[in-house]
Structure 1
Amino acid sequence: MATPADVRAVFEEKLREGVPNPPGEFNPVDLERVKNDRYMKRLLAHQGKSPQAAADMLWDILTWRKTVGASDINESTIRLDYLKDGTFYPRGRDVDGSLLLVLKAKLHIKGQKDFEELKKLIIYWCDRIEREENGKPITLFFDMDGCGLSNMDMELIKYLIGMFKYYYPAFLNYIVIYQMPWVLSAAFKVVKSLLPAKAVERMKFVGKDNLKDVVPPELAEAINSKDDYKYEFVPENRSTEQTPKKVTFAEQGDSQHSPGEMLRLNPNDTIVFKHDNDDVTGQFTITNMDASAISFKIRTTSPDKFRVRPSSGVLASGSSLTVLIVVQPGFQLRTVAKDRFLVMSVQIPKTDLLPKELADIWQNSTGSKVDEYRLKCLFPEKEIARNGTVVDGKSPEKQDTVTKALNNLQSNYETLHRDVKRLKVFQFLTLFMTAVSVLLGYLVYLHSSTSERYCERM
């Protein structure tokens, strides 16, 4: 399997051959990316695990960044009026916990702004979010509500897509197009053609009725109701004392807790499910290890498969609670075992915040403020064998009856399927024999007619 070291080796070999001028020597800040294993893994993921392709992409990225001066772009080198007008801004997170980068299309009129300045603005946001989210994928959210033909800028959209395609590896979770007017549907067919097949799969067209499928319900409700949310620009904190967020992984034991983390989860990496009367359940305990109160949210890769109680809440410092997860009826346990859970937490000033105050904190949170903990699912083989499918909440004994009925139904279906196939064969043979009979009759008729004419001539 390809490793970050493999990518570095290919890149450094190419680097020894020299850098063309232009652009000249790469920016030392950009070259730091080569030392970052996480960044190397992103390149490999983006390029199908090929070290050569990943190294080539890295070379192209560093060349592009030197050419456009990407590492020198900051709040003092871009148009602040563009930055503050609310055309581009981060807001909230999707169902996977990825930050949304919103393009408010109705605020953009094609040709009214300097396109080169818009490019710098996009680079600023991508670089800033990449730093704050520590390279975690983000979701590009096209808010098309209320826009028309004058708001559709294909050049701008192509530039945005190109950024994620060529210069920000494995940085795109979803492309969400919200409330797209039908008059612009042809334009987004062009956008689809610009994307690789994997990215097209990540494109989601949503309206008010299904927005909650891609963002949490509270954010969906706020966007659908055209809330009075007004983006206010907050300068980036580039303090060297700021530490990146920490994520709990399997290598940490249940009793371990890294300084700076808000929560302790027990178990800390795997939820073990078991049969409990008529349900299949799993659970874990959350303890607030922070000095302040925290708010938490729990997300899963398949919301339709699980009931999570509670799925969000508030914890005072030092307090704990147990989260119960119940598998919904009708899902194969072996399939469910592939799912994952994400626990997110953020500091709050007090435990008795109003719902709107709490929603505002989450919507304005950035990666450096949010802790994340990932949990996988485990179903012991004996549990799978005992309860391979959860059927309408039935006990194992009742499920045996259901299983027998399903088996009988399957057997009857297979018998019926064989009978239908036989019938089709018989129909074909009948049609074939009829056609042969007609053809033979016609040939006999032709022969007899020919014989009669020959006799008349004689």
Structure 2
Amino acid sequence: MATVAELRSAFENRMKEGIPNPPGEFHSLDLERVKDDKYLNRILIHVDNDLKQASDMLWDIMLWRKTVGANDINETTVRLDYVKEGTFFPRGRDVDGSLLLIVKAKMHVKGQKVFEDIKKVIIYWLDRIEREENGKKVTLFFDMEGCGLGNMDMELIKYLISMFKLYYPYFLNYIVIYQMPWVLSAAFKVVKSLLPAKAVEKMKFCTKDNLKDVVAPEQALLCWGGKDAYQFEFIPENRTAEHNQKKVTFAEQGDGHSPGEMLRLNPHDTIIFKNDNDEISGQFTITNMDENAVSFKIRTTSPEKFRVRPSSGMLPSGSTQTVIIVVQPGFQLRSVTKDRFLVMSVQIPKTDLTTKELADVWQNSTGSKVDEYRLKCQFPDKDITNGTVLDGKSLEKHDSVTNALNNLQSNYEFLHRDVKRLKIFQFLTLFMTAVAVVLGYLVYLNSSQANGSYCERL
């Protein structure tokens, strides 16, 4: 069985033979991947431990990344208007804990956008997710609800699949096709033919009725019948040009820690709040990933709404701090969901600084020396109403109202579908009636002409 050391050695030997030009020398960040055992092991697993295939795949990945400039694709070089419209975005997790990369197919119409720019958007999201998830698998979620033939772009689908097949090893968990219209069934048979047998096994065709088998209701969006009220909002990645140039390996990263950043936050972008004994609270951990000690501060858009403990502190290298956040009584949770938290950090020479010394460090720090991390808030749906933080009885009443509204929504959807079917039947009936009338009229004309000829002969 092939080993990581053998794969690394094969790559280094190939490097000595020379790199084609174009594309020229490999990017320094990509060369760091070769030093990471975890990344090389992903390639070996991807090709069933075939050393020759693994060596070829690693080489092809390096050539491709240099050719497309993958490491230079960021918020300043990608079509940000394409990103912000929300055709592609990560949200929620499947039953295995893998992040969902959602493709809102109805928002894409073939030929309306520059395809090369769409490719860059896809690379942007895949690279960002690979960093933020530390190489853990992702599920490709095609939301096909409301799609028609104009939304079906086989070239785009082939490109997405090729990314996971050729350039992002052992990165795909499932391919979920949600609410696929019957008119697109033939197209997805072609998609199946593009996939290896293992990938075909990963395809899951889901409807609202069985989505819970792949994505739990708590992780599913409201439009899928789930409980997540999230609306896509683009938030830039926590990376700077300086961080991009710092050489670190994938092994040095963790959840929520991008290359070169001081801190690792877990969870990395969203604080999950829970209702415990009539108190709404959430927490996250901060780990110092820097070689030096750091000082951190936590700020929020609405400090009067939250109790944060601790709101600042100092961390030696490698140490972790848990931060507890409690919603103050009397505030409406619907407004609290819009709030954000900012974690700032700066290097310090030691952890026993006086208050004045620490204040001087922050005052003399320029923007390039301060790391910033942004966190959103997520609350259980049952705890969000037009009122304030709820007690137990109010929650029971709210649950019953929510269930009634959900039933009403379901009945409305059934009625809406029935009305659509009825309209189709009415159209077909009118069409068949019109055809019958035309045919009858033609028969009548033929009959009249025949009778006229007969009378003339008489």
Superposition TM-score, scaled by structure 2 size: 0.55
- 1:373-412 equivalence runs, <5 A: none
Aligned to 1:394: none
Give the aligned partner of residue 235 of structure 2.
234
- Report the Cα offset of residue 86 of structure 1: 0.8
- Sequence identity (%): 62
Q: 1:86-125 counterparts in 2 under 5 A?
A: 86-125=86-125
Deviation at 1:60, TM superposition (A): 0.3
| Cα pair 1:245 1:369 within 8 Å, conserved | no
Contact kept in structure 2, 1:149 and 1:184, CA below 8 Å: yes
- Alignment CA distance shift 1:88-1:191 (3 Å): same
Once residues 202 and 360 of structure 1 are traced to their aligned partners in structure 2, the CA distance between those partners, rounded to angstroms, is 36
Paired residue secondary structure (2:156)? helix
**CA deviation after TM superposition for structure 1 residue 2, in Å:** 2.3
Native 8 Å contact 2:104 2:142 kept in 1: yes
Kindly provide the CA deviation profile for residues 350-381 of structure 1, in whole angstroms up to 9, marking residues without a partner as x: 379999899999xxxxxx989xxxxxxxxxxx
Map Cα deviations across residues 321-378 of structure 1 (whole Å, 9 max, x no partner): xxxxxxxxxxxxxxxxxxxxxxxxx9763379999899999xxxxxx989xxxxxxxx
Match of 1:350 in 2: 326
Of residues 253, 266, 274 in structure 2, which corresponds to 1:244? 253
Q: How does 1:161-180 map to 2 (within 5 A)?
A: 161-180=161-180
Aligned partner of 2:151 in structure 1 is 151
Match of 1:41 in 2: 41
Offset of residue 22 of structure 1 = 1.9
8 A Cα contact 2:145 2:178, kept in partner: yes
- Which amino acid is 1:244 matched to? Q
Which residue of 2 is the match for residue 53 of structure 1?
A: 53
Q: Which residue of 1 aligns with 2:210?
A: 210
One-letter amino acid matched to 1:187: A
- Contact persistence 1:294–1:317 (CA under 8 A): no
Query: Residue 7 of structure 1 contacts residue 40 of structure 1 at CA under 8 Å; is this kept in 2?
Result: yes
Q: Assess if the C-alpha contact under 8 Å between 2:101 and 2:140 holds in 1.
A: yes
Question: What letter matches 2:283 in structure 1?
Answer: I
- Contact 1:104–1:143 under 8 Å retained in 2: yes
- Distance of aligned partners of 1:79 and 1:261 in 2 relative to their CA distance in 1, 3 Å threshold: closer
Q: Report the alpha carbon displacement of residue 218 of structure 1 after superposing the two structures with TM.
A: 1.8
Gaps of 5+ in 2: 257-262, 268-280, 286-307, 311-321, 340-373, 377-458
2:336, 2:185 → 1: CA distance?
A: 36
1:395-450 residue CA offsets vs partner (Å, 9 max, x unmatched): xxxxxxxxxxxxxxxxxxxxxxxxxxxxxxxxxxxxxxxxxxxxxxxxxxxxxxxx
Do structure 1's residue 16 and structure 2's residue 16 form an aligned pair? yes
* Cα separation, 1, equivalents of 2:53 and 2:132: 27
Contact 2:87 2:104 in 1 (8 A): yes
Judged with a 3 Å threshold, the aligned counterparts in structure 2 of structure 1 residues 358 and 52 are, in CA distance, closer, same or farther, namely farther
Q: Which has the higher contact order (CA 8 A, sep 6+)?
A: 1
In 1, distance between residues paired with 2:334 and 2:5?
A: 47
Per the TM alignment, residue 68 of structure 1 is displaced from its structure 2 partner at its CA by: 1.1
> What's the CA shift for 1:246?
6.6
The residue that corresponds to 2:191 in the other structure is 191
Specify the code of the residue in structure 1 equivalent to 2:325: P
Shift of 1:203: 0.6
Instruction: State the one-letter code of the partner of 1:124.
Output: Y
Closer/same/farther in 2, CA of residues 260 and 147 from structure 1, 3 Å limit: closer
Matching of residues 258-273 of structure 1 within 5 Å: none
4+ long deviations beyond 4 Å = 239-243, 259-263, 351-361
Q: Which amino acid aligns with 2:239?
A: R
- CA distance 1:369–1:58, shift in 2 (3 Å): farther
- Aligned partner letter, 2:64: W
The equivalent of 1:441 in structure 2 is none
Is this contact kept in 1: 2:133–2:255, CA < 8 A? no
**Separation of aligned partners in 2, 1:131 and 1:29:** 12
How far does residue 225 in structure 1 lie from its aligned partner after superposition?
3.5
Contact 2:92 2:220 in 1 (8 A): no
Alignment coverage as a number of residue pairs = 280
Instruction: Give, in angstroms, the shift of residue 73 of structure 1.
Output: 0.8
- Distance of 2:12 and 2:239 partners within structure 1: 29
Tell me the C-alpha RMSD between the 2 structures.
3.5
In the alignment, is the contact (CA less than 8 A) between 1:138 and 1:173 conserved in 2? Answer: yes
Structure 2 distance, partners of 1:64, 1:133, is 22
Check the 8 A contact 1:293/1:317 in 2, yes or no.
Answer: no
Against the structure 1 CA distance between its residues 117 and 40, is the aligned structure 2 distance closer, same or farther, given a 3 Å change threshold?
same
SS of the residue corresponding to residue 220 of structure 2 reads helix
1:79 and 2:79 are equivalent in the alignment: yes
2:283 maps to which of 274, 294, 298 = 294
Structure 1 distance, partners of 2:96, 2:196, is 22
Give the C-alpha shift of residue 220 in structure 1.
3.2
**Which residue pairs with 1:67 in the alignment?**
67
Q: Structure 1: how far apart are the matches of 2:122 and 2:132?
A: 15
CA distance in structure 2 between the aligned counterparts of 1:134 and 1:70, rounded to whole angstroms: 17
TM-fit CA distance, 1:31: 1.2
Please state whether the residue corresponding to 1:24 is helix, strand or coil. Answer: coil
CA separation of 1:41 and 1:183: change in aligned 2, threshold 3 A: same
- 2:141 is the alignment partner of 1:141: yes
SS across alignment from 1:113: coil
User: What does 1:394-433 correspond to in 2, within 5 Å?
Assistant: none
Cα distance in 2 for residues equivalent to 1:61 and 1:35? 15
For 1:1-45, what per-residue CA distance to the aligned partner results, in whole angstroms no more than 9, with x for missing partners?
322111001111111111122222212221111111110000001
